[in-house]
Amino acid sequence: MARAIALAGLLVFIGPAGFANLFENGDFEQPLEVAWKDSVNSLAGTFRFERSDTFGGGTGYAAKVYKQLARFASLSQAVPVPGPDLTLTFDARLLIGGGSSTCWPVAAFFVRYLDASGQELGATCYWHHDQYADWQESDTFNLIEVTSFDWDHYELNIAAELRESLPGVNPAAVSFIAADLFAYDNGT
């Protein structure tokens, strides 16, 4: 049985002017309904959204998105940004189980770059995936493979990411950045 579990801890932006955490409830200290939007497309299987201080990510709270079988469950938040000269830091644990050529899971943490109207310009995706996963990189979509089953700390320099990995995204057009904890399975 294929399943994907994505967990994330504290989300923080750091900028040259000393910006603090731009995410509301970015430490998940409050219920997930505070500032986070859940989305589900479920053709089969179960899904869950959880918040706990017992997921093993160190101190503090974390969010968990679970999806078993067809399609996805997502927990996201978009925030206005003063420009791309920011660093996003977060802790995450991306787990998958099962999988086959017709039913493959992906646990992911997306950083989505949005324009002033909220349209997606591109994305960076940290992903832990089954061998059959067929997602492909492009000039607006960067895949960063995660192979660890442990909690890890990540830092993403947004300006450098756009410049070096996403040449199809105009940095000056980025008005919002969305964090998206994403659990996916393509089959039943």
Q: Where are the alpha helices (DSSP H) in the chain?
A: 158-165
DSSP code for 17: T
Q: Name the least confident of 40-54, 107-121, 142-156.
A: 40-54
> Which residues, listed in sequence order, are joined to residue 13 by a DSSP beta bridge?
88
Domain layout of the chain by residue ranges: 3-185
pLDDT in tens, 55-76: 766 667 888 999 888 889 999 9
Could you tell me which residues come within 8 angstroms of residue 5 by beta carbon, excluding any fewer than 6 positions away? 64, 65, 66, 94, 95, 96, 97, 107, 183
Per CATH, the number for 3-185 is 2.60.120
Question: Tell me, what's the pLDDT at 80?
Answer: 94
Predicted model pTM: 0.92
Confidence of residue 97 (pLDDT cuts 50, 70, 90): confident
